[in-house]
Amino acid sequence: PRATFLQEYQPPAYFIERTELAFDLYEDYTTVLANLHCLRNADSTADNSLFLHGEELELQSLAIDGRPLAEDEYQISDKGLLIHRVPEQFELSIGTRILPQDNASLEGLYKSNKMFCTQCEAEGFRKITYYLDRPDVMSEFTVTIEAEQARYPVLLSNGNAIHEESLANGRHRVRWHDPHPKPSYLFALVAGDLHYIEDHFHTMGGREVCLRIFVEAKDLGKCQHAMDSLKKSMRWDEEVYGREYDLDIFNIVAVDDFNMGAMENKSLNIFNSSCVLCSPETTTDAGFQTVEAIVAHEYFHNWSGNRVTCRDWFQLSLKEGFTVFRDAEFSADMGSRTVKRVADATVLRSHQFAEDAGPMAHPVRPESFIEISNFYTLTVYEKGAEVVRMIHTLLGAEAFRRGSDLYFERHDGQAVTCEDFVRAMEDASGVDLTQFRRWYSQAGTPLVTVRDDYDAEAERYTLTVTQSCPPTPGQPHKEPMLIPLAMGLLGEAGNLPLKLAGQAPDAETADNTSTVLLLSEPEQHFVFEQVRERPVPSLLRGFSAPVRLDYNYSRAELCALMSRDDDGFVRWDAAQQLALSVLDEIQQQLTDGQEPSVDPLYLDACASLLADTSLDPALVAEMLRLPTESYLAELAAAEGADVELIHRAREALETALAQHAESQWLDAYRRSVVNAPYAPVAEQIAARSLRNLSLYYLACAKAQHIGLAQAQYAAATNMTDRLAALRVISQRGTQQQSDEALDSFYRDWQHDSLVINQWLQLQSAMPGEGALARVRSLMDHEAFDLRNPNKVRALVAGFSNNNSLQFHRPDGAGYAFLAEVIEQLNTRNPQIASRLLNPLTRWRNYRPDRGELMKAQLERLAALPDLSVDVYEVVSKSLQ
C-alpha cells in the first residue's frame, strides 16, 4: 500500500457542478444511476483524462452526453475508473450495481437491522458510485430513492423533499434536493420502517425549522433528551458564534451498526443509536452527557465542517478540532465547567499523550497517511481542540469571535485549510501566530519544566521555564512552541496579587491573581515583584496548554494547592500528583519487599476534602478517583511498565484510602442522596458521582458494605445508580453475589441492546484469573454480535483497555485473544479491526517479557495473507 502526502496536493482537474443520483433499492442488490454535470477546472494543467474513485462497484453503463462509451475509451481498476478523454464540459452517466446487504465494513451504503443507511466520511462514497470522492469537489445534489413501500416507508436524503409518488408495483419514490453544494462525504441516504418525534426551532433570523429524530418504533420514548440537546445547541450557536441554521428541516436518524459516534451529513445526521437514545431507566449520567455533547458536535459541524469544509483530509482537524472545542465549551456552559475541563484533560493526558509518544504519533495536521480512517484520532480531535483553545486564550474571547466571524464569512461555501483558519484569526485580531503554527506541524507532547527562586530580602520571586519536545517518527528535531502558561501564586492566606517585573501596575492587573505567561524560547525567566512570602506556584491553570509539566512540588505544597488554590483544575491536578507521588513510594516499598505504608499526609488531605461540604461534590469525586492502571503504565513507560507492581500498589492505596476515611465515605454516601426525580443536570450528576464513588470505596474498606450496594441495586430507579451498584458487587462481592447480580441484570434488560452493552463492558473489566475465560464465553453469548461495533467495543476493547492486569497475563493469552478478534474483523470491518490494535501498539512501554509477547502478535498479524490497508498501516508502523 502506498502513502498519500500533503505535499502532493493538486487541485481537481474537473468539478462536478450538479450530481443527480437515482437509487433503486432491492433485497439482494441496489442499482445506482449517477448523472454528473462535469466542468473542467480552468486552472488545472492536467491532461484531459478523468479519474473517478470507485471500489467494489459493478459497472453497468457508462455514457458521455448520452453516448455510450466503447470499451477502449475507459479502464477499470480496483481503485476506480479512468476515462481516457473527456470534453471541457459534459454530462457523465454511470450505472452501477452494489450489494449493501453484504457490506460488513459499514462504509458506503449498507444495511443495519432492516434499514438501509450510509456512512461516507471519509472515503465511503466511492463504494456507492464512481465519483471525484474528495472534499474539495463540491456539488449540488438531487437524489431519487425508490424502494418497496411496505418495508421502507421512510426514504430520506439531504436537503428538502421535492417530490413523492407511489408506484404501481408496491414501490414508492421520493426525490430530495439539497441547495447547498457539498462534498460527497456529506451525502446520506436512509430507507426504513422508521418513526419519529418532531419539534420546531425558530432561528434568530425568523426561520421556522422542523426537527425530527427517526428511530425504530420501540425507541420512540428515548428521543426527548437528544431533541432538547439539539434545540439547546441551535440556540447556543446563535448566541456564542452568531451561526444560524440554513434549511427548513433538520433530521437525525439512529442506527445500531455504526463505526463511529455520529455523522454530520447535511441536514440528515446519522447517529450510532448509543449516541442518541436515552432514558433515565436505561442510560447513565455519562450516557446523557455523551448524547448532549454529540448532538451538539454534529449540529455545530453545519458551519464548522459543512458550510466551510476541508480542502483535503490532512486538514481534518480544521473541522474536528474546531468543532470539538465548540462542543466542549457548549458542555461547559450546560453543566460544570471545571468538571468538563478535568474530564477532557484526563482523556488527553492518559490517551492522547500516549498516542503522541507512540509509533502512530502524528501532527494535528498529518503530513502523510496510508489509510485516512486511521487518522480519526485523539490527536486530530482532542489535541486539535486544545490548539483552537490556545488561540482563544491568546486572542481573548472577543477577538476570537471576530476571527471566527471572519473565517465563516471569508470561506463560506469553500473547502479550505488549517492555514486559512489561523490566518482569519490573525487578520481579525492583529495577533501574530507565526510561531504558534508549529502546533499544527510538530507532533509530540512538549515538556515544560519550571524551577523557582525566592529572594525574601528583595521580595522577588523568579520562575525559570524551559521547554522541549521529544522526537517522534519522521521528526527527530523540534523547534520551540508558543505555549500559553496560565498561572498564579498561592500564599498562606490565598492567591497573591501578581506584579510581573517590567509590567505597569495598572488598575486592571493590580489585584489580578492569575496571568498567562507566553513561552516561546527554550528557556525564559519571569520575575514577580513585591512577593511578601514564599509562594507555591499554581501552574497550568485550566490546563491552558496540552503539555507535560514538571515542577518539583513537595507533598505539603501539593496539599496546599489541593485544598486552597482558586483554580479548580489545579486543585484536581494537585490531588492527582499527590496520589502519583504516594503510588511511587508504595511501588518502591513493594519492590524492596516491605509492607506498603501510605503517607498519612495524603490520607488526611483526602479525608478533609471528603468532609468539606462546601465543595462541588463532582470535583471532590474526581479528586479522589485514583489514576487508572493504564495511565500509570503509560507514565512508567520509560523504565518498562510492570503491570503487577502497578496493580498491587494501586490496590494498596485504594484500600488504605477506603479504610482511613471509612466514616467520611459513609457520611458522603448518606448525605449525597438525590431526592428529586431524575434529571441529567449538574447538581444531581455531582451528587450521584460522589455517592457512587463512596459506595465503591466502602466496599473496598469492608466486605460487609456490599450490603449497601445490594440495597442500592434493589432500590435504584435510574441506570446510573443501578449500574454503579452492579459494578461494585461484581468487582468486590463474592463469586456468588456477583453471579446473582449479573444474572438478574441480564434477565431484566435482555430486551435492550444498549443496556446489555453496558453489562458486557462491565464484565470485560472484572478482576481475577477467570476474566479472559469470561470474555471469551461472552463472545458466544446470544447478546454478543461481532458485526456490531458497539458490542465489540464494549467487550473486546473494554477488556484490552480497562482490564490491564488480565489483558497483560504473563502467558500472553490476553494478547493472543485480541489478535484473534482483529484477525476475524480484518477483512469484514477493517476500521474496527484497526482501532482494536491500539493497546498492542504500546508494546515498547512494557517489561521485555510482556513487550515481546505483544510484538509477536503484531508480527503474526503482519504476516496475514489478506491484511487490510487499515490494519497494515498500524501494524507496520508499530513494528518499525
**Contacting positions for ligand DPP (CB under 6 A):** 121, 260, 262-264, 297-298, 301, 320
- Among Zn ion, ligand DPP, none, what binds residue 263 when CB lies within 5 to 8 Å by partner kind? ligand DPP
Instruction: Mention every residue, 6+ apart, whose C-beta is less than 8 A from residue 79.
Output: 53, 54, 55
Which partner from the list ligand DPP, Zn ion, none does 383 bind, CB cut-off 5 to 8 Å by kind?
Answer: none
Q: How far apart are CA 49 and CA 548, in angstroms?
A: 51
Count, residues near Zn ion per rule CB under 5 A: 2
CB of 297 to ligand DPP, least distance (A): 6
Pick between residue 263 and residue 708 the one whose CB is nearest to ligand DPP: 263
Shortest reach from residue 11's CB to ligand DPP, in Å: 23
Q: How far is the CB of 482 from ligand DPP (least distance, A)?
A: 27
Q: State the distance between the two ends of the chain, measured CA to CA, in whole angstroms.
A: 16
- Smallest distance from the beta carbon of 376 to ligand DPP, in angstroms? 6
Strands of 84-207 (E only): list them.
89-98, 108-112, 115-119, 139-148, 154-157, 160-166, 171-182, 189-192, 195-202
Q: In Å, what is the CA distance from 334 to each residue of 227, 287, 329, 338, 665?
A: 15, 15, 9, 12, 29
Q: Could you say which of ligand DPP, Zn ion, none residue 121 binds, taking C-beta under 5 to 8 angstroms by partner kind?
A: ligand DPP
Rounded distance between C-alpha atoms, residue 229 and residue 221, angstroms: 15
Q: Please, what is the minimum distance in Å from the beta carbon of residue 90 to ligand DPP?
A: 32
Q: Which CB sits closer to ligand DPP, 343 or 603?
A: 343
SS (H, E, C) 843-871: HHHECHHHHHHHHHHHHHHHCCCCCCHHH
- Measured from the Cβ of residue 361, the count of other Cβ atoms closer than 10 Å reads 22
Is the Cβ of residue 298 or residue 721 nearer to ligand DPP in the bound state? 298
CB 295, min distance to Zn ion, A: 12
Least separation in angstroms between CB 301 and Zn ion: 6
DSSP bridge pairs for 309: 415
Question: Minimum distance from CB of 298 to ligand DPP (Å)?
Answer: 6
Q: Do residues 499 and 529 touch, judged by C-beta distance below 8 A? A: yes
Sort 876 into a burial class: Cβ within 10 Å, 0-12 / 13-18 / 19+.
middle
Report the residue number, 300 or 569, with the smaller CB distance to ligand DPP: 300
Instruction: List the single partner that 237 binds among ligand DPP, Zn ion, none, CB under 5 to 8 Å by kind.
Output: none
Residue 131 DSSP symbol? B
Residue 154 Cβ, how far from ligand DPP at the closest point, in Å? Answer: 23
CB nearer to Zn ion: give 298 or 634.
Answer: 298
In the complex, the smallest distance separating the C-beta of residue 284 from Zn ion, rounded to whole angstroms, is 23
Q: Smallest distance from the beta carbon of 472 to ligand DPP, in angstroms? A: 24
682 binds, among Zn ion, ligand DPP, none (CB under 5 to 8 A by kind): none
Contact 584, 636 (CB under 8 A): no
Least CB distance to ligand DPP at residue 437 (A): 24
Query: Which residues lie below 8 Å from residue 358, measured CB to CB, with a gap of 6+?
Result: 841, 842, 878
How far is the C-alpha of 244 from the C-alpha of 242, rounded, in Å?
A: 7
463 binds, among Zn ion, ligand DPP, none (CB under 5 to 8 A by kind): none
Q: Is 389 helix (H, G, I), strand (E, B) or coil?
A: helix
Distance CA 694, CA 658 (A): 9
Report the C-alpha gap between 99 and 119 in whole angstroms.
15
Q: Which residues pair with 200 in a beta bridge?
A: 210
For Zn ion, give the closer residue by CB, 407 or 631: 407
Largest distance between two CA atoms of the chain: 96
**What does the alpha-carbon distance between residue 113 and residue 192 come to, in Å, rounded to a whole number?**
10
Q: Which does 634 bind (CB under 5 to 8 A by kind): ligand DPP, Zn ion, none?
A: none
* In the complex, residue closest to ligand DPP by CB: 121
Sheet of 74-76: strand order equals 50-53, 80-83, 74-76
Helix (H, G, I), strand (E, B) or coil at 575: helix
Q: Give the ranges where 529-661 is alpha helix by DSSP (H).
A: 555-564, 568-591, 600-611, 617-624, 629-635, 643-660
442 CB neighbour count, 10 Å cutoff: 18
What string marks each residue from 742 to 781 as x (binds Zn ion by CB under 5 A) or -?
Answer: ----------------------------------------
Nearer to ligand DPP, 302 or 730 (CB): 302
808 binds, among ligand DPP, Zn ion, none (CB under 5 to 8 A by kind): none
CA 215 to CA 256: how far, in whole Å?
10
Peptide bond preceding 122: is omega within 30 degrees of 0, i.e. cis?
yes
Q: Report the site for Zn ion in 298-327 (rule: CB under 5 A).
A: 320, 323
**Residue 48 in contact with residue 85, Cβ under 8 Å?**
yes
Cell of 315: 486538514
The answer to whether residues 293 and 327 touch, using CB atoms and an 8 Å cutoff, is: yes
Which is closer to ligand DPP, CB of 317 or CB of 513? Answer: 317
Chosen from ligand DPP, Zn ion, none, partner binding at 557 (C-beta under 5 to 8 Å by type): none
**What does the block give as the cell for 413?**
461555501
H helix intervals, 661-752: 662-671, 682-701, 706-715, 719-732, 735-749
Nearest alpha-carbon partner for 349 in 496, 231, 447:
447
Give the three cell numbers for residue 324.
470539538
Taking the CB of residue 150, how many other CB atoms lie within 10 A of it? 10
CB atoms within 10 A of CB 239: 11
Nearer to ligand DPP, 262 or 395 (CB): 262
Compute the least distance from the CB of residue 124 to ligand DPP, in Å.
10
Q: In 173-184, which positions are buried (b, 16+ CB within 10 angstroms) versus exposed (e)? A: bbbbbbebbbbb
Catalytic residues: 298
Q: Which is nearer to Zn ion, 20 or 320 (CB)?
A: 320
Name the binder of 499 from ligand DPP, Zn ion, none, CB < 5-8 A by kind.
none
Give strand pairing partners of 83. 50, 74
Q: Which is nearer to ligand DPP, 161 or 347 (CB)?
A: 347
Residue 256 contact among ligand DPP, Zn ion, none, beta carbon within 5 to 8 Å by kind: none
Cβ closest to ligand DPP, residue 324 vs residue 583: 324
| Nearest to Zn ion of 298, 752 (CB atom) | 298
> With 0-12 CB in 10 A as exposed, 13-18 as middle and 19+ as buried, what is 46?
middle
Q: Which does 260 bind (CB under 5 to 8 A by kind): Zn ion, ligand DPP, none?
A: ligand DPP
Q: Which does 94 bind (CB under 5 to 8 A by kind): ligand DPP, Zn ion, none?
A: none
Of 285, 391, 159, the C-alpha closest to 690 is 285
Binding-site ranges for Zn ion (CB under 5 A): 320, 323
